[in-house]
Amino acid sequence: MPPPENLYETEYEVGQDNIQKFGMDIHNPVFWIAALLIMVFVLGTLMAPEDAKGIFDASKAWSINNFDWFFLAAGNIFVIFCIVLIFLPVGSVRLGGQDAKPEFSLISWFAMLFAAGMGIGLMFWSVAEPVGYYTDWFGTPLGAEPNTPEGARAAMGATMYHWGLHPWAIYAVVGLSLAFFCYNKGLPLTIRSAFYPIVQDKSWGWFGNVIDVVAVLATIFGLATSLGFGAQQAAGGLEFLFGIPSGINTQVAIIIGVTSIAVISVVRGLDGGVKLLSNINMTLAGLLLLFVIATGSTMTIISGFWDTTVAYAEVMVPMSMWWGREDGSFMHDWTVFYWAWWISWSPFVGMFIARVSYGRSVRTFIIAVLLVPTAVTIVWMTAFGGMGLEQVMNKTGALADGIGDYTLSMFQMLENLPLAAITSFIAICLVMVFFITSSDSGSLVIDSITAGGKLDAPVPQRIFWAVMEGVIAAVLLFAGGASALSALQAAAITVGLPFTLVLLAMCVTLYLGLRHERIWVMNK
């Protein structure tokens, strides 16, 4: 069998199609096409935000309602594929070769991948989602009776289903594919490289350009959406805590502040920026988690870890099915929506995880990206979601009436624990620092794609994309309000449908590459 460098030999050189403009190293034509499409979308949305929202909402609804089976089936395939890789012999393959050493410590590595993948979402939904499902805010999972013990169990299980193995499996497929083909096969760190085993040198032509442009759009739209919605939550927290009006001006000011810090961080690079902030953020998140466990209903939370795990196991199979469901509306509005959202985020999160995972074995990678975050999420959701549910059941505080403003749910839960002002302020800080780390990692990803797969794009290029994320979110929020932001989110989700096909193809090409790599290593 020919060695890997011959089987995957290509005359293409990383960055060979690049041009140098404005101090940037730009892939031609990916950079220009992506920038033009982003500009057209922003201008069109600003000119007619309601019309844009209507168009993209219709597109999103069409994707979700007609391809619910496809999203759910694909999600199941990704989980099974990743778990199987842990036990197969190819799990011993090391990213970068058998002698490769990791660039980052285990703790820093995990902090970075967790902050990029889930951090901000857990702050946003860890209270709102279980409480919403329990009180029938917008449907209940599997038709569970709301405001009952069975409803509470289903609520915790469904929340974990949306934030557990399935989303992380999606990220793991993309991250492992890109890391393997970049570090082991010497291909550029872009989405197109995963298709080289199938289309060979066509990866570097129009086919690869289309894939990379879609990846840039999905990343920038997803990040800008999260930045906009996160600014709303942070502004709501400031009003809740300090009485500062949470209107558009405050939200835009938060986006400007977050973007400014993100620019400084992205200039400092991975070690001085993203890694440092991720470590700080995970430390603050850990302290807040311990505080909630210690000052809340401690024994209820501790016993709840097992209850949540069992509830998750109970709902996993029925919620993975798309036929015979009594909760069709819930399935479409929540589960299928989430799957499309995770898939639209996968180019960004997966590529960032690949960027920081040099030197890890496939088995270690899957365990760290799939199983460990799921376990951490069980603990987090049990503590925050469990306390939220308990306050609803006991008619304590604002949550006694269910979900009003979902951006305030976490602050309303913390209000009924000791030192509420301090913990709420820490929560606001966490939200904003998670924004910064997401913006940082997203900028590094877009830098790499628009630089033709180069790992270190010039500083002006990093600054450009970090600023663009903030500008898109701020301009749409200020000029178009909630309608423009919803249009942006719908656009990102619409990208999820074609990208599901990309991920399924990645499973095939990744296995072929891993199998060849292991055989070659054994026969050396």
Residue pLDDT tens, the chain, 524 long: 445 455 667 777 777 777 887 778 888 888 889 889 888 888 887 788 778 778 888 888 898 889 999 999 999 999 999 999 999 999 989 998 888 898 888 888 888 777 776 667 788 789 999 999 999 998 999 999 999 999 999 999 999 999 999 999 999 999 999 999 989 888 888 888 888 888 788 888 888 888 888 888 888 877 777 777 778 778 888 888 888 888 888 888 888 888 888 888 777 766 666 777 778 888 888 899 999 999 988 888 898 999 999 999 999 999 999 988 888 899 998 999 899 888 888 888 888 888 889 999 999 999 999 988 899 899 999 999 999 999 999 999 899 888 888 888 988 999 999 998 899 888 888 878 877 777 777 777 888 888 888 777 778 888 888 888 888 888 777 776 667 777 777 877 888 888 899 899 999 999 988 987 877 666 66
Q: Is 4 domain-assigned? A: no
**In this structure, is residue 8 part of a structural domain?**
no
In a domain, 362, yes or no: yes
Amino acid symbol at 24: M
Q: Which amino acid is at 172?
A: A
Domain assignment present for 258:
yes
Any idea what the CATH number is for the domain that residue 122 is in? Answer: 1.10.4160
For the purposes of burial, counting CB atoms within 10 Å of the CB of 505, is it exposed (0-12), middle (13-18) or buried (19 or more)? middle
Whole-Å CA distances, 337 to 127, 330, 369, 396, 494: 19, 10, 22, 31, 10
Domain count, the chain: 1
CB 122 within 8 A of CB 377: yes
Under a CB-based contact definition with an 8 Å cutoff, are residues 476 and 224 in contact? yes
The pLDDT of residue 504 is 94
The torsion defined by the Cα of 180, 186, 188 and 193, in degrees rounded to 10, comes to -50
3: in domain: no
- Which residue, among 260, 210, 256, has the nearest Cα to 472 in the 3D structure? 256
pLDDT at 1: 44
How far lies 320's CA from each of 69, 86, 315, 413, in Å?
Answer: 9, 22, 8, 30
CA distance 357 to 299: 37
Residue 461 pLDDT: 82
Q: Which residues of 408-442 are buried (b: 16+ CB within 10 A; e: fewer)?
A: bbbbbbbbbbeebeebbbbbbbbbbbbbbbbbbbb
CA nearest neighbour of 301 among 237, 233, 231, 381: 381
CA diameter of the chain:
69
Buried b (16+ CB within 10 A) or exposed e, 164-203: bbbbbbbbbbbbbbbbbbbbbbebbbbbbbbbbbeeeeeb
**Amino acid letter at 194?**
A
* β-bridge mates for residue 20, sequence order: 25
* pLDDT, tens only, 370-411: 988 899 899 999 999 999 999 999 999 899 888 888 888 988
Contact partners, residue 206, CB within 8 Å, separation at least 6: none
H-type helices in 451-480, by residue range? 459-475
Within 243-275, where are the H helices?
248-269
Q: Contact 59/494 with Cβ under 8 angstroms?
A: yes
Quick: pLDDT tens for 411-467: 899 999 999 889 988 888 887 887 777 777 777 788 888 888 877 777 888 888 888
Using CA atoms, how far apart are residues 57 and 139, in angstroms rounded to an integer?
20
Cα 440 from Cα 365, distance rounded (Å): 22
In a domain, 381, yes or no: yes
Tokens for 3?
Answer: 């060695």
Cα(first)–Cα(last) distance of the chain, in Å?
A: 11
Query: Which residues, at least 6 apart from 486, have a Cβ–Cβ distance to it below 8 Å?
Result: 53, 57
| 8 A C-beta contact, residue 340 and residue 496 | yes
> For residue 135, is it within any domain?
yes
Residue 104 CA neighbour count, 13 Å, CB half: 22
According to the model, what pLDDT value does residue 326 have? 85
Q: Which domain holds residue 502?
A: 18-523
C-alpha to C-alpha distance for 182 and 147, rounded to whole angstroms:
50
**pLDDT at position 492, please?**
76
Structure tokens at 150: 């069975």
Residue 177 lies in a domain: yes
